[in-house]
Amino acid sequence: MNGDENPELWAFLASLHPGEILSGTVAAIERFGVFVALDDGPDHPVFPGVGFITIPELSWRRIDAASDVVRVGQRVSCEFLQFDDWNGEARLSLRAMQPDPFAVFAEGVTVGRALHGQVTKVVPFGVFVRVADGIEGLIHLRELTELPVETAEGILQVGDELMVVIAEVDLERRRLALSPARRP
C-alpha cells in the first residue's frame, strides 16, 4: 500500500504526531490486535479501521486475549505511537492512557521490605510470585534452596503462599527480584 493509492489516508496519517490522543470505536478484534475506526480521518481501504492496537499496547497487565480488555463497538481514547507505512495505519496505545501499575508500586516500596505473596507460575529457573494486583516478581532458583537442583518444580507450587522480601526493583525493565523471607 502506498500514498499514491490513497492520498487522503496518507495525508491524514502523516499529519499525526506521537503522543497525540485519538478517539474512535473498536471495529474488530483479531488474535494479533484490535482495529479502531477513528473519529477523525478517512476509512481504511482494506482494514476495519485506520487505528491499530497491538496486544501488548492494550494493557499493562498480561492478558490472554484482546477481548479481556475491549469489545467491538466500545469507545476508546488512545495515544498515537507511530505511522505504520507498510499497512497504512496509525499504531495506537490504550495502555499509555493509564498509569503504569509497576511504576506506582515501585514508588511505594523499598528493597528489603517483606510482603505476602502467592506463587503464580513455576518455571525451570525459579517461581513467579504475585505481591500486589498485577505485580509479580521472580524468586530465582538459587534463592529457593541451598541444595543443588536443576529446576524449581517440586519446591513450590502454583497457589502456594509465602512471605517474600524485595531484593531489587528494576523500573526500566519493569522487573521485580524477590527472595523468600528467612524465618529467624
Inform me whether the pLDDT recorded for 183 exceeds 60. no
Inform me whether the pLDDT recorded for 130 exceeds 70. yes
Residues in the chain: 184
User: Element (H or E) spanning 35, and its range?
Assistant: strand 33-38
Inform me whether the pLDDT recorded for 78 exceeds 90. yes
Residue 184 confidence class, pLDDT cut points 50, 70, 90: very low
Percentage above 90 pLDDT, the chain = 74
Give CA–CA dist 61/56, Å, rounded. Answer: 9
Question: In a 3-state reduction of DSSP, which class is residue 56?
Answer: helix
Model pTM above 0.95: no
Give CA–CA dist 8/41, Å, rounded. Answer: 8
Residue 79 confidence class, pLDDT cut points 50, 70, 90: very high
Chain segment 102-128, per-residue pLDDT in tens: 999 999 899 999 999 999 999 989 999
Burial of 31 (0-12, 13-18, 19+ CB in 10 A): exposed
Chain segment 136-172, per-residue pLDDT in tens: 999 998 888 877 777 778 888 999 999 999 999 999 9
Q: What pLDDT does 2 receive?
A: 60
Give CA–CA dist 39/137, Å, rounded. Answer: 40
